[in-house]
A = this chain, B = another copy of it.
Amino acid sequence: MFLKTSEDDKELKKALKNLLGFLPGHLQFYITAFTHRSSNEDLVSNNERLEFLGDAYIGSIVGEYLFKKYPNRDEGFLTEMRSKIVSRNSLNDIALKMGLQKLIRFNKNDKMLRRSNIFGNCLEALVGAIYLDKGFEKTRKFILKNMLYNYIDIDDLEITDFNFKNKLYNWAQINSHVLDFVTLGESNEAGRRVFTVGIEIDGELFIKATGYNKKAAGQTAAQKALEQLDITTEE
C-alpha cells in the first residue's frame, strides 16, 4: 500500500514516528524491513538480509544490557537470560504488542504465515533498518527503551528459570510421551567443562545442547525442543 504515492509515504512516516519515537530518514530501509518474502521474492527487496543485521545487534545490545545489570552473574546466566529475551517466541510477542502486524506486507492468503514468527523476524529487520538509517546509538536506545523496558519483565524472566523444561514436561504429559533428560558427555573447552545434555522422547534422542553446566545445557535443549515442536513458550 505505502509504496505507491507520496501520500502513502507520508502515512508511513507518521506511523513510523509513532512507533519509533523519531522521524525516519531513509524510508526505503523501513519499506524493506516491512516486506516479507511472501510478498516479494527479490532478496534485495524483502526483509531477510535486514533481519540478519538486526538480529545480531539485538543480541549484542541485550547482551550488554544484561552484562551491566548483573555485574555478579556468570556468563552462563547471561547467555541463558539473553536467549529467553531474544527467543523467536519472545520477539514475535513483542512485535505483535508493538503492532507491527499492521505495517508488514505478506501474502495474506497463506494462513500458516500468521502462526509463524514473521512478526518477530520483521522486528529484527526493523532494528536493522534503524541501524542503517540512524546508526548505533539510536538503535541501542530503541532496543533498550521500546523493546526491553516496554515489553520485557526482566525480574519475572529471572525467576521463571525452569520455564522451558516445565513447558516441555507439560507437553509430554498432555500428549502421553515419555521425556528424559540425559547427560551425553562432558568435555573440556578452553579450560572450562562443557556438558552435553540430550532430550529423549519415548526413548529416542530428539535434540541435544551444550552448556557450562548441566542445568544450562538442559534448559537450552528444552528451549530448542519447544521451538522444534512448535510449542509456544508464552504463559
Contact = CB atoms under 8 A, between A and B. Distances in A.
Interface of A: 36-38, 43-44, 48-49, 51-53, 56-57, 59-60, 63-64, 67, 71-75, 78-79, 106-107, 110, 112-113, 116-118, 121, 131, 136-137, 187-192, 205, 228
B56 A75 contact: no
A68 B71 CA distance: 34
Contact of A63 (B38, B56, B107, B110): B56
Given A189-B116, A190-B116, A190-B121, A52 B75 contact: yes
Given A52-B67, A53-B67, A110-B191, 20 more contacts: A37-B191, A43-B74, A48-B75, A48-B192, A49-B74, A49-B75, A49-B78, A51-B75, A52-B78, A53-B64, A56-B59, A56-B60, A57-B60, A57-B64, A106-B191, A112-B188, A113-B191, A116-B188, A117-B190, A136-B137
Instruction: Give this chain's copy count.
Output: 2
A43 B77 CA distance: 12
A205 B189 CA distance: 22
A88 to B, nearest CB: 8
Nearest to A121: B190
A116 B191 contact: yes
Contact of A192 (B37, B52, B189): B37
A131 B131 CA distance: 18
Contacts of A37: 191-192
A148 to B, nearest CB: 15
A101 to B, nearest CB: 13
Contacts of A121: 190
> Which 8 residue pairs are nearest across A and B when measured between Cβ atoms?
A56-B60, A56-B63, A116-B190, A52-B75, A60-B60, A48-B75, A118-B190, A136-B136
